[in-house]
Amino acid sequence: MNFQSTRMDRRAFLRGMGGAMMALPHLDIMAAATMSAEVPMRMVCVGTNFGFVPKLFFPTETGVNYSLPELLQPLAHHRDHFSIFSQLDHGSEAVGGHGGVHAYLSGILGKNSEGYKESNITVDQKAAEYVETDTRYSSMQFTSGSSAGNLLSWTNSGVPIPPVQDLRVIYSLLFQKTDPNELNLLKRVHAEEKSILDLVRLDADRLTNRVGKNDQEKLDQYFTSVRELEKRLTQSEAWLDKPKPKVSYEMPNGADDMDFVKRVPLYYDLIALALQTDSTRVITFELSDIGANSGGFPITKGYHQLTHHGKVESYIEELSIIENFHTGQFARFLDKLSAVQEPNGKTLLDNTMALLGSGMGNASSHSNKDLPLLLAGGGFNHGQHLRYEKDKSRGTYTPACNLFVSMLQRFGAEVDQFNLSSGTLTGLDVV
């Protein structure tokens, strides 16, 4: 290869290698460009359907010198890379027991979304609006099992986005070369879909002037859904002829038939690779039921049954096995992000906001209050436990959506409000 300059952009070199982004060393000739390279911010939101036992998750002390409770012990070596928040929730708009879990990333239940400017859009989808066609997928949604109606990602028209469960499908979407025959079929489908959308829009335009106010509102919602679908089709079409990145990672045989404890690390592996190869910058990962065989855990009762522990210690002890697994796997994920050096001299963790939490505050009492929320990475000044004011007698609280405003601004979105927010989250500052 003949270098024409003493400086070289590393991203350009990667493109010239056909997207092989895994094992390329950082060469000296790239150093000058590295310091000024623009590296995107990413966002990963991980949610559990059953939350965490509050006394095992929340520290008793605030500030930087808090003692790590049991469930945060697996994250001890990342203490300076995450913040823990307590007494944040979504108020009355997200109260609904297990049915309230889907408001985790929006603050608003689907049934309560009427009258809101962007319905019950979730923070990941708001961030995805700013990615547009910069990546192959503006966002991706994964799940470890049955969502049971508690889908994490919702569009600005109030439509839930079904997540992908099969590991083989996820791997294929990210890295497997598309068969030429399948590629031609996809192109025809895109062309036909867009033609159908053109016809639907034309017919709907004719109807608008002939219907009443209520029907016009329904048509507006329908138009929004059509525009979202059209945007996704256009974006996908733009990437059809671009090669997928080559990685050395191999999916184990029978991955989708493995027990929960063996499958979950594989989801995190694929999430890390998706970010590292810039295949997407926004991902949600739902950790729902643990499936058959007790998920591979040494427990004697079902996961859901254990969450309704009623403060019975034997139940809590078994439940903590599952919940320690969740925080332990999240810690492993942070390890992987920390090990990847980015062109701006920082790690992938520095350039990724990784949220762990739930729309369930206390599954034992079906409470959606005081949500367990932990944010790692993203260049924030971490290493602290922040507890926010709450006045139960007046019904006032600090909205969890304030955290989402801070995350969106860090992502690069020019917003000062998100759903129920009252501003940014005080105490969470950028380094």
Q: Are residues 234 and 261 in the same domain?
A: no
Of 218, 242, 266, which residue constitutes the final position of a domain?
242
Three-state SS at 322: helix
317 occurs within a structural domain: yes
288 occurs within a structural domain: yes
10 occurs within a structural domain: no
CATH of the domain at 103: 3.40.720
430 occurs within a structural domain: no
CA distances from 76 to 19, 178, 261, 381, 386 (A): 35, 42, 21, 16, 17
Q: Are residues 212 and 290 in the same domain?
A: no
pLDDT at 115: 77
| Tokens (6 digits) for 261 | 């404890």
Q: Are residues 313 and 214 in the same domain?
A: no
Domain span at residue 204?
A: 178-242
Of 226, 242, 258, which residue constitutes the final position of a domain?
242
Q: Are residues 268 and 161 in the same domain?
A: yes
pLDDT at 147: 57
Cβ atoms of 368 and 68 closer than 8 Å: no
Is pTM beyond 0.75? Reply is yes
Edge-to-edge strands, sheet with 82-86: 140-143, 282-287, 42-48, 352-357, 373-377, 82-86, 384-387
Q: Are residues 82 and 193 in the same domain?
A: no
Q: Are residues 225 and 163 in the same domain?
A: no
Cβ atoms of 3 and 29 closer than 8 Å: yes
pLDDT at 113: 82
In the predicted model, residues of the chain with pLDDT beneath 50 are 1-36
Q: Are residues 204 and 319 in the same domain?
A: no
Q: Are residues 227 and 255 in the same domain?
A: no
Q: Are residues 371 and 407 in the same domain?
A: yes
pLDDT at 222: 66
Q: Are residues 316 and 338 in the same domain?
A: yes
82 occurs within a structural domain: yes
CA separation for the pair 284, 47 (Å, rounded): 8
| Tokens (6 digits) for 191 | 């062309």
CA separation for the pair 305, 295 (Å, rounded): 14
pLDDT at 144: 94
pLDDT at 80: 97
158-180 burial code (b ≥16 CB/10 A, e <16): bbbbebebebeebbebbbeebee
Q: Are residues 140 and 264 in the same domain?
A: yes
CA separation for the pair 289, 304 (Å, rounded): 8
424 occurs within a structural domain: no
Cβ atoms of 370 and 362 closer than 8 Å: yes
Q: Are residues 313 and 392 in the same domain?
A: yes
Please count the structural domains in the chain: 2
CA separation for the pair 113, 126 (Å, rounded): 16
